[in-house]
Amino acid sequence: MKKHVVLYRKVPEDVLQSLRREFDVTAFDDVDDANRTRFVEALGSAHGIMGNTLKIGAALLEAAPRLEVASTISAGYDAFDVAALTQRGIVLTNTPDEVTETTADLVFALLLASARRVVELANWASSGAWRAQVEERYFGVDVHGRTLGIVGLGRIGEAVARRAALGFGMRVLYTKRTPHPVAESAYGAQRRTLDALLAESDFVCLMVPLSPETRHLIGERELGLMKRDAILINGSRGLVVDEPALVAALQNGTIRGAGLDVFEREPLPAGSPLYTLPNVVALPHIGSATHATRAAMARQAARNLIAALAGQPVATTVNPEALEVRRARTPAA
């Protein structure tokens, strides 16, 4: 008898068919108030789930007594209560490799757009205000040859460093718990404390995962350490930044500007000043939003789910200790 899998995100047809060949599949394009009851009912017999964005915590897990594997179609996994999954012996897998280059492209686009005031001046020109040579007050700042500080030099951070050093001749600083010899050798990256990085960088790029340690990592004190003409780029998670403190810093000139793809609340409320401040480029969380990347993420998430439910090792298992919990609960033959 096939195991039961519940999808809670729309996936390409080839991915859906690959899962149907292996499992009994219940598919939801998304979960909302209209179908939440049916979704929770489906969890009752589910051995695996696959999707993203939905918060998966202890309450939903109570409705899924047979659940063995959760496969997220994302690199980040802060939507999951990892401790609750582990306690129940439920394996969580993610798709970090598929998003690396696409997200690094987007992060660098934010950096360039913020530095050269691309969105602000495109809107200014299209409004009919461009009637003569652009005045100095509308000038931006150079990117080439400047100093980029990357907070969290993981897969995406390293890809950003490569673009900065090899493409734009930038000096690269980074923070990381341990040294990154490859980045130091290939891109001349220099390791710094967070405070030193903030003080030296012309651009500060946040690339850390969300955790209790990184929540509001950048607040009023940290913004005050940055150069007044520095620009903050956040391509990680919104809660890494104290958003009211950032708004105040942008309003009072503590820093020059910000390029943001993530926010404390998503979607960002319509009344947020981050939409109206001229020195902000605000995007709707599109780091991995290309057709090719999203399809690749779904395919890898499906491969992860198939392998994990077959008892095979998955390299991107977030909580391998869940396997030990499951083994401890399995009676000896």
Which residues are identified as catalytic? 237, 266, 285
Q: What would the two tokens of residue 84 be?
A: 């609750």
Q: What would the two tokens of residue 197 be?
A: 């990085």
128 burial (CB, 10 Å; 0-12 / 13-18 / 19+) is: exposed
The answer to whether the CB of 43 falls within 8 A of the CB of 65 is no
H-helix segments, the chain: 13-22, 36-43, 58-62, 82-87, 96-115, 118-126, 155-162, 168, 181-187, 194-200, 220-225, 243-252, 291-309, 321-329
Closest by CA to 68, choosing from 84, 50, 54, 89, is 89
- Gap between the Cα atoms of 149 and 157, Å rounded: 10
Closest by CA to 218, choosing from 202, 230, 204, is 204
- N- to C-terminal Cα separation, the chain: 22
Residue identified by tokens 């899998």 is 5
The answer to whether the CB of 258 falls within 8 A of the CB of 231 is yes
- Gap between the Cα atoms of 152 and 192, Å rounded: 11
The answer to whether the CB of 203 falls within 8 A of the CB of 233 is yes
CA dihedral 315, 25, 56, 76 (to 10 degrees): 40
- Axis-axis angle for helices 96-115, 291-309 (nearest 10): 150
For 289-316, letters b (16+ CB in 10 Å) and e give: eeeebbebbbbbbbbbbbbbbeeeebeb
